[in-house]
Amino acid sequence: MDTIKLTIDQQELEVPAGTTIYHAAKKLGIDIPVLCYMELEDWNIENKPGGCRICVVEVEGRHNLAPSCSTECKDGMVVKTNTPRVMNARRTVMEFILSDHPKDCLTCPKSGSCDLQDMAVRLGVREIPNEDIAEISTYRLDTSPAIIRDIDKCIMCRRCETMCNDVQTVGALSAINRGFESVVTPAFEMNLEASPCTYCGQCVAVCPTAALTEKDYTAEVIRALSDPEKTVIVQTAPAVRAALGEEFGMEAGSLVTGKMVSALRKLGFDKVFDTDFAADLTIIEEGAEILDRLKRSANGDENVRLPILTSCCPGWVNFFEYHFPNLKDIPSSARSPQQMFGSVAKTYFAEKMNVKRENMVVVSVMPCLAKKYESQRDEFKVDNNPDVDYSISTRELAHLMKQANMNLNKLPDEDFDKPLGESTGAGVIFGTTGGVIEAATRTAYELYTGKSLNEKVTFEQLRGWEGIRKAEVDFDGFTLKIGIAHGLGNARKLLEEIEEGKSTYHAIEIMACPGGCIGGGGQPLHHGNASILKKRSEAIYREDAGKKIRKSHENPYIKELYEEYLGEPLGEKAHQLLHTKYFDRSTKRQFKI
């Protein structure tokens, strides 16, 4: 490969051709500030509009300053990253960006984790000279069940567009207008709710400001907790325990399961349960469905559609309901773990506790924003009472704890309550890409072959980080072909194969977010550092490895639930409480043609 020699701040170095000045400087440990630029290395995701010009540097022999994030190194280049001219220019650029930005930092939902605010601090902005000539735009607030758009705070970095259009291929967002008026919105400035948005939250996860934030339900949760009439129970998704620590300054990849449980108990939840229990339940139902379809197809039943697709990710469900409605009978009909938990809690458990449905409040803590929307779907309500009342994100839980004077670091480890808090390692790995299908494989293998996996429960071929993975598992002579996709753009490729009749898989796992739930839109912000996500994934697998029981069908409380209440997997009661159906939502388009 061609290499290039250059000098940055008096230090010489050699880099491969095509390297940008920004990346070359990084190699020397020089951290040039960037604002619009963002990269998620492991997935080749890059947002490089070269628009904000915060990253400018001086290049000898060039009359104007160069944006380092989008300028390639040339042989013999002499770069200076911190001359007075550069520092002045940066501050001027920043002052210009701030001139038409609202100034309500103190009460802004992003305050404290805002890249724009951090940059103003870093560059030492003390006044905003252009304020009088700039117009602060006054777009309306757009509130959906999951995401709030306050685009007066949009700084046109266009990171959200990269995520929504390039990575997720949803196409809900685009830059519109020019000058001070330019912002990013859905088509015709319609509400996000009317757009093709899946609520995956990937735009929220990368937005540097409060232009895109989650709909916050912490106030509602506090109100429920303080209502003596209500029995308030909580469930926590697998990916939360692998990320919550980051909000309290812990290293990425710290597992805080026990501390999280004691925090929730101290917050006043009557029972602290685990979505992992419901994940085990999902595996029983979904596993049974996979085997049923395989068997029927082997017997020549023409009505069976393969591959079967997982259905535990509501962002993904929204995606196929909108973009691939003709495939809506292929995914498993199993509800997501969040919703399985809700319906079991408000029936089986409420009866056990002798609590009336309307007096039970189910809160879920999720790495995900799509779950907020999911919990409000009509299919998951009984007499207008939702199975899950409030779905809050990992970030919201951290806010709640901070408001309640809790420091995660200082809390003791405690155990989940029984019965809905008992889970297996299979339930835990739902939180990372490949985990759901590995969990399903552990159970399906034993049911199909009648043999025990003993300790050999890990399937390395299903793990990994590539966006699309293919793997085969030997089921005692029968080869199960498995596909895995994370990120909706990757999912789209597998779906197109199915549409074209080219798909050879038996089962496919799909997760809307890159990395799976550990990279969900409700997780602590990664600020462009993708290595954080890998560490979370490793933590998830660590938790699995440490579990005594690692196969869903061996969870004693799941067995009890079927014996006492549900009957058979895929049976009538199971169907009513644990399964759902999908809708063609392409009709949600405003303008039918």
Active site residue 52: no
Tell which positions 131-170 bind other proteins, by CB under 8 A: 165
Q: Considering the complex, what minimum distance in angstroms separates the CB of residue 148 from other proteins?
A: 18
Q: Considering the complex, what minimum distance in angstroms separates the CB of residue 182 from other proteins?
A: 8
Tell me which of 39, 95, 161, 374 is the catalytic residue. 374
Tell which positions 170-209 bind other proteins, by CB under 8 A: 171-178, 185-189, 195-196
Tell which positions 46-105 bind ligand FES, by CB under 6 A: 50-55, 67, 69
Which partner from the list other proteins, ligand FES, ligand SF4, none does 67 bind, CB cut-off 5 to 8 Å by kind? ligand FES
Spatial separation of the C-alpha atoms in residues 429 and 464, rounded to whole Å: 13
Q: Considering the complex, what minimum distance in angstroms separates the CB of residue 532 from ligand FES?
A: 20
Q: Where are the alpha helices (DSSP H) in 303-434?
A: 314-323, 337-344, 350-353, 370-375, 394-403, 425-428
Which partner from the list ligand SF4, ligand FES, other proteins, none does 50 bind, CB cut-off 5 to 8 Å by kind? ligand FES
Query: What burial letters (b/e) apply to 210-244, b meaning 16+ CB within 10 Å?
Result: bbbbbbbbbeebeebbeeeebbbbbbbbbbbbbbb
DSSP state of 335: P
Spatial separation of the C-alpha atoms in residues 217 and 396, rounded to whole Å: 8
Q: Which two tokens stand for residue 516?
A: 């799976």
Active site residue 105: no
Q: Is 541 in the site for ligand FES (CB under 6 A)?
A: no
Q: Is 37 in the site for ligand FES (CB under 6 A)?
A: yes
Which partner from the list ligand FES, ligand SF4, other proteins, none does 116 bind, CB cut-off 5 to 8 Å by kind? ligand SF4
Tell me which of 351, 379, 466, 572 is the catalytic residue. 379
The amino acid present at 489, given as its one-letter code, is: G
**Between 275-298 and 337-344, two packed helices, what is the crossing angle to 10 degrees?**
110
Number of residues that bind ligand FES (CB under 6 A): 12
Which residue number, 100 or 417, has a Cβ lying nearer to ligand SF4? 100
Active site residue 131: no
Query: What burial letters (b/e) apply to 530-568, b meaning 16+ CB within 10 Å?
Result: bebbbbbbbbbbebbeebebbbbbbbeebeebbeebbee
Spatial separation of the C-alpha atoms in residues 467 and 484, rounded to whole Å: 8
Q: Considering the complex, what minimum distance in angstroms separates the CB of residue 95 from ligand FES?
A: 15
Q: Considering the complex, what minimum distance in angstroms separates the CB of residue 312 from ligand SF4?
A: 17
Active site residue 500: no
Tell me which of 286, 321, 396, 422 is the catalytic residue. 286
The span from the first CA to the last CA of the chain, in angstroms, equals 52
Q: Considering the complex, what minimum distance in angstroms separates the CB of residue 202 from ligand SF4?
A: 4
Q: Is 222 in the site for other proteins (CB under 8 A)?
A: no
Active site residue 247: no
Contact between 339 and 580 (Cβ < 8 Å): yes
**Between 257-267 and 394-403, two packed helices, what is the crossing angle to 10 degrees?**
60
Which residue number, 425 or 521, has a Cβ lying nearer to ligand SF4? 521
Q: E-assigned strands of 21-156?
A: 38-40, 45-47, 56-59, 66-67, 78-80, 142-143, 147-149
DSSP state of 467: S
Which residue number, 170 or 267, has a Cβ lying nearer to ligand SF4? 170
Cis-peptide into 84, omega within 30 deg:
no
Q: Considering the complex, what minimum distance in angstroms separates the CB of residue 87 from ligand SF4?
A: 21
Give the contacts of 78 (CB within 8 A, at least 6 positions apart). Answer: 6, 7, 59, 60, 61
Q: Nearest-CA neighbor of 163 among 54, 51, 38, 323?
A: 38
Which partner from the list other proteins, ligand FES, ligand SF4, none does 552 bind, CB cut-off 5 to 8 Å by kind? none
Q: Which two tokens stand for residue 345?
A: 């809690």
Which residue number, 26 or 589, has a Cβ lying nearer to other proteins? 589
Q: Considering the complex, what minimum distance in angstroms separates the CB of residue 530 from ligand SF4?
A: 17
The amino acid present at 42, given as its one-letter code, is: D
The amino acid present at 85, given as its one-letter code, is: R
Active site residue 332: yes
Q: Considering the complex, what minimum distance in angstroms separates the CB of residue 176 from ligand SF4?
A: 11
Which partner from the list ligand SF4, ligand FES, other proteins, none does 81 bind, CB cut-off 5 to 8 Å by kind? none
Which residue number, 55 or 170, has a Cβ lying nearer to ligand FES? 55
Which residues here bind ligand SF4, judged by CB under 6 A? 101-102, 104-105, 108, 110-111, 114, 116-117, 147, 153-160, 163-164, 168, 170, 172-173, 184, 197-203, 206-212
Q: Nearest-CA neighbor of 392 among 413, 408, 371, 377?
A: 371
SS3 sequence of 131-178: HHCCCCCCCCCEECCCEEECHHHCCCCCHHHHHHHHHCCCCCCEEECC
Which partner from the list ligand FES, ligand SF4, other proteins, none does 290 bind, CB cut-off 5 to 8 Å by kind? none
Residues lying near ligand FES in the complex (CB under 6 A)? 34-37, 50-55, 67, 69
Residues lying near other proteins in the complex (CB under 8 A)? 165, 171-178, 185-189, 195-196, 589-591, 593
Annotated catalytic residues are 286, 289, 312, 332, 371, 374, 379, 517
